[in-house]
Structure formats: structure tokens, C-alpha cells
Structure 1
């Protein structure tokens, strides 16, 4: 299981916070320094920490946006370098794409936000070729923000949802997915709602939620508030899977109550007790409870 101790997690977070430069370079150094920890877990932690960092610095960059734009234009006149904005982002310890998004909104002030967003997605639509080249280089060197990163996150999330359904089917579980539940009128829905509950770690399991990310305490508590507690109140106990590991404190988080089980992988077949399992005496004593939940 990929469960990160609080001590190691704090060391990783400290390294990320002190690093000055692009997240691409930070990721490489992170993998070297913490080589005993799975690289995907490290990348997932870095991604979350950098997102927090961008939010914290956003208002500072926004406040000085006209100064940065003037600096860009002055350097552009002098040397016509396609890496000016990237260098400013590195110096200011900020996301290159987020910087571009802010500066384009200033440069094309008065235009709808959708126009500047489209310029980020397709830099060739920017009238100034040099500015377009600068934005493109920021896009190619930013692993924390932008359409490339968004597409990657979306793809990873969808891949793990497909993986979840396959593992659930292979385990013999009967379930309804999010699309089915929304058609039935549910507003907040888990990734899988078991049509027939099973047992895992001594608890009756009614739903499974999948998160293709690392589970830190702040995000987990937010998930509890926004999603998981409502699943527990409506359907009963269930599982949340953090595919890229989680902080050890999350497993014993008091907000989990008795309705949230945290894991980093889908339960193994021998860990699940199915309702139709002929070798499940533990289940037979709970059939009436399970039936009441259907």
C-alpha cells in the first residue's frame, strides 16, 4: 500500500515549497531525492502542492500584471526572445500558463474572457507572432496549468474510472455508475453505487469513489464535506480509493466516522465477501441488514 507517513510527507512538501523553477525540473529533483517513494506518488503530491502555491500567489501576480506586461514589451523590443514570459514566470516562482492568462487579459482588455482563453488553447490566434511564440513556450513547459495539463488530468481520471469498473466487474460486483444514477435524478453520486452490497474489512460496502490523485488531509476533508458524507448519509458506508496513495493520517481521520474506508487500490477478491458467496458465514448473519439497504 502507498501510505505516506506524516514525516515523509512534510519533507516532500518542504522540498517542493523551497524549489525555485519550473515544476518539470522540480519533479526530476524530487524523484532523485526521494527515490524510495513511488515516482507517481511524488508527482501527484507535487501537482497538488503547486496548485496550492499558484492560488496563494495569484493575487500578487495579478496586482503587478501591468508591470510584467511592460517588462515583456520592453524586452521584446530589445531582443525578440520567445522565452521572455517563461523566464519571468520562473523568476516570480509562478505558473507560466497562469502568467500568460493574466497578461493576455490585460493586453486584450475589453475582450471577452472566452477570447483570451482560446488564445491560450491556440496561441496562433494571438495577433502578435512573438507574443504567440512566448505563450506557446509557456504551454510546452508548464506541467501545472493549461490545456495540455487539463487534458492529461482528464485522461488519467477517465482511465482510472474505467479501471475501477473493470476491477469491480472482475470481482463479481453488481453496480450502477455515475451516468445511470444521474439519469435517476441523484445530484451527488459516487463513481459506483453497488446494486448488491458486499462486505470489506467488516463493513457493509454500498459505494466506491475513485480519486486519481494523492490524498492529503486538506483535500480529503473537503471531499468529505462536498461528497463523501452525503454518500454515507444516503447510501451507507463505502470506499474511497486514492490511486496515487494517501497520507497516513487520513485513514484514522475522525471525520471518516463509520461510513468511509480509505484505501489506495481496489480490494482484492479475497478481501470482499459477496452476498452470493457460499463460503461466507460472516455474510449470512448480515443478509437481513444488507437486504434492508437495497
Structure 2
């Protein structure tokens, strides 16, 4: 889905006071019913990560950590069945998963003190061997609750994002096979000695909407100004220098005004292109542009 900058800014303004919970995502979808859930979640996640980077330092101040921890202890004791940790995270505008990590770190400090007489130091690396201790202190359930309710941070989100990225790379390869387009994927390119590669190198270039394409990069996210500028500087221009002009697919959409580098050799799309022309006079299969490095 390609959004105008004005449409994007309207969504961003509406997300400013939302929290990274699944309930808030339902509200966002109700407010913008014409946009896909995946696009809205991607936009919100990007914006919330920017917000978190601006404010995370204050939550790591020792006095603030102690305040959060003591409040968690007292309220969880007074309301043992209430989602105290999740409520606290939402109140102070911090990712529930990050709040759980802060509280767990502080809990481990106390636990380490309790076990010093046995000369046993507790660290993150040994969490897997002390589940009974964590359960007995009633901190496992609140941490798990924060993790499953956080749509922007945490191990569950990381796994989902990785799986979605892999899924769209498979989708891209399937589309190329449907069109009988010969290509090399990232794994094949790595075995050939390329250290920084796009997801796909076309063995025979194609033309998309009149623009030559040598490579394709798959992004299972929304392309906003910040992320696209970062990708341009860290990835896309490097691919362009090595392999020539290419195509970037932002599967969850992008700001339409960002598609302004076509004449310089970088084309943006929000789906696999349908307007494809095969270049019969291109280089022979198996040949790649020479790596200048």
C-alpha cells in the first residue's frame, strides 16, 4: 500500500498516545479501516521504536528502576491476580517487554544477594536452570503476560518478525519462479564470496515499468522516511554500486514521495511487479557484474 505523506502523518499523529498493546492495535484498525492491519502495525512499530529511543534512558535511571520495582512488589501483593506489570508499563509509557526485563533484572539482584551464602551468582545465562525459583517468586507469569501483550518489543515479536521476513523472501522467490526468471539468492551469493548482498540477483536483468532491474530487495515492513534513508545509506546504494540498478519491495507499503530515485537506479514497489519485460539481449546466465572491491 502506497501512502501519501499526508496520509502517513495522519496515522502517525493518531499513534502518538497509543501503547504497544494488541488492544491499541484494534483501536488503530478501527480508526483506519481502509489500511491493512500489517501496514498499520508496521507504521506504529516504527514510530514507537523512535519514541522509545528518545525516552528509554530515563527508565534506566537507578532511582526510577527502584521506584518501578517497589511499586510492582507492593501492588502485586495487594492485587495478586491483576496484570500489575502490564498496567505499570502502560502508565509510564514503556514497552511491556522492556518493563518486564527491567523488573526481572532488579529481581535477580535481590535473588543474587539471597544466594551468595551458597557462592552461587545468578545471571541471564543461567535463567534456564532456575525456573522453579522464578516461579516461586511469582514473577514468571507477569513477565510472560507482558511479552505476549507487547506488539513492538520482546522475544516473541523478534521471532514473528524473523518469520515474516523469511515468508516474504520465499514469496519473492516463488514469484520469480512463476515468471521463469533465473536468479541467485542471498545464500548462494554468500557462498560465492559476496559479503553484502541484496536478497536476489537476477542472472538476466529485467525491465520493470521501463526501468532496468538487476537485483531485488525484500522488506517485510513499511518504508518511512527514517528507515528508507537508513536503508539507502547502509544497503541500497551499496547494491547499486556493485550490481547496478535494482528494485526494493516494501510489502507493507511506503510513503509514495520516497519513490524518487528511479532515474538514479532504485525503484520502489509495494508488491511483486506485474509490468515486467525480459531483456533478451542481457548478459549470459551465470554472469554477475564484477565486484569493484
Pair in the same fold by TM > 0.5: yes
- For 1:89 and 1:128, how far apart are their aligned partners in 2? 23
Change (3 A) 1:22 1:181: closer
Q: Which residue of 2 aligns with 1:243?
A: 251
Q: 2:180 is matched with which residue: 164, 172, 175?
A: 172
**TM-score, normalising length: structure 2:** 0.86
- For 1:86 and 1:75, how far apart are their aligned partners in 2? 12
1:46 maps to 2:44: yes
- For 1:218 and 1:156, how far apart are their aligned partners in 2? 21
Q: Which residue of 2 aligns with 1:76?
A: 76
In angstroms, what is the RMSD of aligned CA positions?
A: 2.5
- For 1:124 and 1:45, how far apart are their aligned partners in 2? 39
- For 2:131 and 2:87, how far apart are their aligned partners in 1? 18
Q: 1:263 is matched with which residue: 269, 281, 287?
A: 269
1:205 partner SS: strand
Once the two structures are TM-superposed, the CA of residue 73 in structure 1 deviates from its matched residue by 1.4
Matches within 5 A, 1:219-238: 219-238=227-246
Matches within 5 A, 1:128-167: 128-167=136-175
Q: Which residue of 1 aligns with 2:25?
A: 27
Q: Which residue of 1 aligns with 2:65?
A: 65
Once the two structures are TM-superposed, the CA of residue 293 in structure 1 deviates from its matched residue by 4.5
Once the two structures are TM-superposed, the CA of residue 124 in structure 1 deviates from its matched residue by 6.4
- For 1:92 and 1:161, how far apart are their aligned partners in 2? 37
Deviates more, 1:130-139 or 1:71-80: 71-80
Q: Which residue of 2 aligns with 1:101?
A: 101
Once the two structures are TM-superposed, the CA of residue 80 in structure 1 deviates from its matched residue by 2.5
Change (3 A) 1:58 1:208: same
Once the two structures are TM-superposed, the CA of residue 292 in structure 1 deviates from its matched residue by 9.1
Q: How many residue pairs were aligned? A: 276
The answer as to whether partners of 2:247 and 2:268 remain within 8 angstroms in 1 is yes
Q: Which residue of 1 aligns with 2:11?
A: 12
Gaps of 5+ in 2: 110-120
- For 1:260 and 1:24, how far apart are their aligned partners in 2? 35
